[in-house]
Amino acid sequence: MQGIVTKSMGLWYQVETADGQMHNCRLKGKFKLENKKISNPVAVGDKVRLISDQGDSSAMIIAEILPRENYIIRVSPKKKGHSHIIASNLDQAIIVATVGTPRTSLGFIDRFLVTAEAFRIPATILMNKIDLLSPEELDGLKEKMVEYESLGYQVLYISALKPEDIESLKSQLANKTSLFTGHSGVGKSTIVNELAPEAQQKTSEISDFAQKGVHTTTFAEMFKLGTDTYIIDTPGIKELGLAEIEKDELSHYFPELRNLMGKCKFSNCTHTHEPGCAIETAYQDGSISPTRYDSYLSMLAGDDNRR
């Protein structure tokens, strides 16, 4: 039998099988970690093969993890020198952003987009709280975001307080697995709770569980919205930090820079000061955006551009 991991609770995993049933599963005793630097062998979103537990007829055992299409990883908060897989098999990663309350900077959005590019996950920018904007402000925002659409990123505009906007968001999520991330205060919880009302319930369940002293670290949880439609909330992670990306790879993750790269005079060009740099020329003549180029430079310099 096959299933998909929807929740990880220490040694137990919640797995949904094709018939819609949820099973509490453990990992096979002799399960070998392929990569010793990964702190969690099984992640939310993993497709797994289950076998029945001989000792306990009500339980199932995860015998195998099927190859992952992609995954998002970050430095493990618990184990030094290790990485933690946040979620796998994603169709899109969505950053929830707001203009004023709080303000999400373009630099922060760029950082998220670079991470998504590095993990080869299509990225969507979800502008929330547009009810707080005047029509002129909304037009201004849309004008600014055209550039992102031209780079191939989807940009959506909603107010989480408007049921019709939540409905149209649902249609954008249909038949996909979408991961939500964003700064604290942008309305991520409001959106997730509107989409999946059971998410709210789960939150209190988890704290009850924690109060009993059970060791729980819920890194990510998946909610089913419909057939083949899932959202993944990442409670512990308000922000999807920049993956560990080598400096000489960085320009690959800016689509507009990637297109120009072969045209620089030097093959090891860092696009900062070198003569004959095609990217600097494009910046000078306005064909690449100054804010995007600034983001590139600040990420290259290792600035922690989290605001």
Ligand X SMILES: Nc1nc2c(ncn2[C@@H]2O[C@H](COP(=O)(O)OP(=O)(O)OP(=O)(O)O)[C@@H](O)[C@H]2O)c(=O)[nH]1
3-state secondary structure of 14: strand
* 189 marked as part of a ligand binding site: yes
186 lies in the site for ligand X, by CB under 6 A: yes
Q: How far apart are CA 72 and CA 89, in angstroms?
A: 9
Taking the CA atoms of residue 68, residue 171, residue 109 and residue 4 in that order, the dihedral angle to the nearest 10 degrees is -20
What does 8 interact with, of ligand X, Zn ion, none (CB < 5 to 8 A by kind)?
none
- Please state the three-class secondary structure of 110-151 as a single string: HHHHHHHHHCCCCEEEEECCHHHCCHHHHHHHHHHHHHHHHC
Residues 6+ apart with CB under 8 A from 170: 195, 225
Looking at 38-46, 120-128, 204-212, 261-269, which segment touches Zn ion (CB under 5 A)? 261-269
264 lies in the site for Zn ion, by CB under 5 A: yes
CB 275 within 8 A of CB 265: yes
- At 67, which amino acid appears? P
190 lies in the site for ligand X, by CB under 6 A: yes
Lookup: tokens for 162: 């408007």
Q: Which of 159, 177, 181, 218 binds ligand X (CB under 6 A)?
A: 159
188 lies in the site for ligand X, by CB under 6 A: yes
- At 208, which amino acid appears? D
What does 264 interact with, of ligand X, Zn ion, none (CB < 5 to 8 A by kind)?
Zn ion
| CB 28 to Zn ion: min, Å | 50
288 lies in the site for Zn ion, by CB under 5 A: no
Q: Which of 35, 54, 134, 184 binds ligand X (CB under 6 A)?
A: 184
Strands 92-97 and 123-127, bridge-based pairing? parallel
* 190 marked as part of a ligand binding site: yes
Which residues, numbered 124-153, are part of the site for ligand X (CB under 6 A)? Answer: 128-129, 131-132
Q: Which is nearer to ligand X, 154 or 190 (CB)?
A: 190
* 186 marked as part of a ligand binding site: yes
Give contact residues for Zn ion (rule: CB under 5 A): 264, 269, 271, 277, 279
Give contact residues for ligand X (rule: CB under 6 A): 128-129, 131-132, 159-161, 182, 184-190
Known binding positions for Zn(2+): 264, 269, 271, 277
